[in-house]
Structures are given as C-alpha cells and as structure tokens.
C-alpha cells in the first residue's frame, strides 16, 4: 500500500503542476492583442478568475488512471505603458491565488488530493520595436495602425507556496523565463497576431523530499489570433496555440512526460464605461499527447486611466 500511495503522489504532482497556469502549463497562455498599439501613459488594474476542469492524460502503464482535476485561480494585477527610448513599452504584473483538487483510480481505489494558496507571480516586460513609436494619447488618436513587431520577456519568480516535504505544491521553487517575439497586423477592422516563444526553467534543488534535484526541458510555444473590432474596445478573437517540450528530469531520470499539445479558444472584450471593461475567454484542448486536457473559462474586470 505504501508503494501505491507513493505512485499516486508522483502522478498527482505531475498533473497539478500542469494544471497551474503559472508553472508548467504557462505555455497554454492565449493572449490576443498582446503587441497591439497603445498610447503611452495608459495605466490599468485588473481582477480575474479562471476555472479549469478536465482529464489528465498519462501513459496506459502508469499506476494511476482516470485522473480528473479542477483548478480555480483568482488573480489581481496591473500594468502601465511608457516611453522606452522612443518606443512603446508595457510592464505587467499578476499575483495569483489557486485552489486545486484532483482524483484518480489506483487499482480499485479512488484517491484525491487538494491544495490552496499563493502561486508564483508573473511579471512581463514588452517593447514594440517596429511600428511601435511612443505616442501620447492625443497623438495616438490621429495615428495610423501599422504592422507592429515586438518582443517581450516574461518571468515567474519562485514566490508561491512550496514545501519540499510535499510532492504537490502550487509554487515551483525555481525561476521560469519566457523570451518571445510577436507580430500584429491590422486589416481594416481585423487584427492578425502571431507569437513565438520558449519557456526556460532553472533547477529546483529542493525537490521532494528536499534532497532531490529536478530540472525541466524548455517548452516551445506558438500562438495565433484573429480578432475583429466591432467598435472601440468591443472586439472578439479566435485563439490557438501549440506547444512542445517540458519533460522533467529528477536526479538524472527522465520522467517521460514530454508535452506536444494544442489548444483553441475564443475571447470577447466588452466595454462597461469609459474606464471599465470586462474580458471573457474560453479555451479547450484540441490535441493532447500528455498532460492536462482541460477546458478553461476565465473572466477579468479591468479599470484603466491615462496621464
């Protein structure tokens, strides 16, 4: 029974990490209009909630089968646009709190686990290099919307809840970085976006039970979005992403959890007042080789203002 419990814990560790949108599943992000034009001196704060439910796909020989999980994520964050050597730059930060539960079949027994607490925060800095000239609000209103090419660096510092004596944690206890390049092109009321990035991970030297070393291969991710603007701040988008990599290695042993998955979704942005808006989105797995095959529903309320 002790061996079976250990096997169950190992499996739970793998898929709860995938279920967290700020750790291994960060490659599942779908962000339409991430590099679109904005006037400098724009500031905003946002409060969001996301719920992910679904199955976790594992090898048929794994000791745990029929794995299902649910993750709720509450996030507060904000950002600002500013002049960076004559180009438009954006600095964003988000701080999540997660509730996660999972269950699976170990032989003839059903077992479950749950966690709640702070996850690793996310910080992102991006600059529009081509077509991203820094403009004040009055100048921006009269400017054309050219093709934009930008780059960004996102990072997740190890500040989330972590206990090396537990296999299941909401924090990753290591840094994660994502350099990315993106292009945004406007065609009348349509905006077409494409991004390519890679998640890079440092080593967790205090993996379970505090004496193990866990490394992770890079995750390569590609996104595509097509959005239509009905009127200012009212737009809808179709979203898609494909990502591959991320196999974990513990004490030199490959876990065999290479990801090669894709997701699709849709996003709707609705203006409420001059300064307030609501953005909702739904995404689901299109193809899943290994890992979380989740459907995710999210909603965020945003308040923005200008200098």
- CA atoms within 13 A of residue 70's CA, in its CB half-sphere: 6
pLDDT score recorded for residue 59: 56
- Find the range with the poorest average confidence among 12-16, 50-54, 275-279: 12-16
b/e per residue, 5-25, with b = 16+ CB within 10 A? eeebbbbbbbbbbbbbbbbbb
**Alpha-carbon span 60 to 259, nearest angstrom:** 16
Tell me the per-residue pLDDT of 87-109, one tens digit each, with 9 for 90 and over.
999 999 999 999 888 777 766 67
Q: For residue 124, what pLDDT band results from cuts at 50, 70 and 90?
A: very high
* The pLDDT of residue 246 is above 50: yes
pLDDT on residue 228: 98
* φ and ψ of 21, to 5 deg: -75, 0
pLDDT digits (tens, 9 = 90+) for 190-223: 999 999 999 999 999 999 889 999 999 999 999 9
C-alpha dihedral sign at 168, 170, 175, 181: positive
**Structure-model confidence comparison of residues 57 and 240, the more confident one:** 240
User: What is the CA angle 225-146-233, rounded to 5?
Assistant: 55
Domains of the chain with bracketed CATH: 2-306 (2.40.160.40)
- The mean predicted confidence, pLDDT, of the chain is 85
* Digit-coded pLDDT (tens) for 273-300: 999 999 999 999 877 666 667 889 999 9
pTM: 0.87
Q: Which of 226, 302, 228, 248 is nearest to 30 (CA)?
A: 226
Compute CA distances 59 → 11, 86, 143, 247, 258, whole Å: 11, 51, 54, 14, 11
Other beta carbons within 10 angstroms of residue 102's beta carbon come to 22
Determine the distance from the C-alpha atom of residue 42 to the mean position of all C-alpha atoms in its chain, rounded to a whole number.
Answer: 23
């Amino acid at each position: 029974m002790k061996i079976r419990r250990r096997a169950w814990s190992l499996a739970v560790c793998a898929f709860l990490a995938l279920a967290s949108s700020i750790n291994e599943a960060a490659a599942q992000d779908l962000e339409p209009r991430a590099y679109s034009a904005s006037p400098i001196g724009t500031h905003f704060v946002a409060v969001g909630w996301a719920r992910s439910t679904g199955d976790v796909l594992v090898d048929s020989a794994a000791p745990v089968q029929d794995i299902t999980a649910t993750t709720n994520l509450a996030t507060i964050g904000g950002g600002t646009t500013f002049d960076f050597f004559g180009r438009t730059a954006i600095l964003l930060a988000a701080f999540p709190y997660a509730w996660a539960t999972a269950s699976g079949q170990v032989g003839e027994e059903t077992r479950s686990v749950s966690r709640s607490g702070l996850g690793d925060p996310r910080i992102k800095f991006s600059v529009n290099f081509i077509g991203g000239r820094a403009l004040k609000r009055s100048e921006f209103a009269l400017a054309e919307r050219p093709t934009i090419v930008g780059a960004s660096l996102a990072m997740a510092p190890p500040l989330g809840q972590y206990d090396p004596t537990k296999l299941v944690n909401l924090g990753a206890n290591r840094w994660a970085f994502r350099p990315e390049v993106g292009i945004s092109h406007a065609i009348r009321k349509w905006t077409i976006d494409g991004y390519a990035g890679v998640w890079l991970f440092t080593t967790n030297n205090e993996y379970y039970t505090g004496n193990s070393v866990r490394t992770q291969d890079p995750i390569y991710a590609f996104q595509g979005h097509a959005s239509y603007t009905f009127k200012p701040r009212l737009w809808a988008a179709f979203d898609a992403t494909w990502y591959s990599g991320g196999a974990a290695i513990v004490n030199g042993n490959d876990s065999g959890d290479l990801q090669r998955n894709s997701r699709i979704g849709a996003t709707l942005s609705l203006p409420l007042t001059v300064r307030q808006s609501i953005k909702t989105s739904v995404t689901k797995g299109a193809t899943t080789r290994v890992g979380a095959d989740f459907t995710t529903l999210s909603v965020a309320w945003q308040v923005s203002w200008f200098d």
